[in-house]
Structure 1
Amino acid sequence: MAQSRRMAGSALLLLLLLVATEMGATTVKVAEARDCLSQSHKFKGTCLSSSNCAAVCRTENFPDGQCHTQNLARKCFCKRVC
């Protein structure tokens, strides 16, 4: 009889820990950073390769760059976290 009480107590403790863990996980809010884009001033021509665009953007003190279509033309846009 004493062993079944210990087993029931252990099961109850495990259940409470599981519920507390799940409740804590649902109340955590994560903020995601936005990316700001700026058209490159040094990139010339049609942007066909995002790696080339990123290399030019690094010369403009941006960490990254990507090709985007704007007005039916592919242009290089430099990107950084706002």
Structure 2
Amino acid sequence: MKVSPRLISAVLLLFMLLATGMISPVTVEARTCETSSQLFNGLCLSASNCANVCHTEGFSDGDCRGLRRRCMCNIPC
């Protein structure tokens, strides 16, 4: 039984794509919803303080954002 050169080249091409990572599993990232903190007062200068306040409000994380330095709370949608 003779193997065709087209089959060999197709198999080699597939192997090279798999070996170089051109074909990889698809990763899906969850969307994140963001809202301003209701309990944080003043300028947001410390991201860890903002995150702590957001945790008390029931959010998963918080970060200082924008020119006006507001505390923004994050939660997966």
State the TM-score, normalized to the length of structure 2: 0.70
Question: Quick check: which has more Rg, 1 or 2?
Answer: 1
Segments of 4+ moved more than 6 angstroms: none
Q: Which has the higher helix share?
A: 1
1:47 and 2:44 aligned: yes
C-alpha distance in structure 2 between counterparts of 1:57 and 1:65, whole Å: 6
Structure 1 unaligned spans of 5+: 1-14
Report the aligned-residue RMSD. Answer: 2.5
C-alpha distance in structure 2 between counterparts of 1:76 and 1:58, whole Å: 12
C-alpha distance in structure 1 between counterparts of 2:16 and 2:26, whole Å: 17
Matched residue count: 64
Find the counterpart in structure 2 of residue 79 from structure 1. 74
Find the counterpart in structure 1 of residue 32 from structure 2. 35
1:22 and 2:10 aligned: no
Q: What's the secondary structure of 2:74's corresponding residue?
A: strand
Cα distance, 1:45 vs structure 2: 0.3
State the TM-score, normalized to the length of structure 1: 0.66
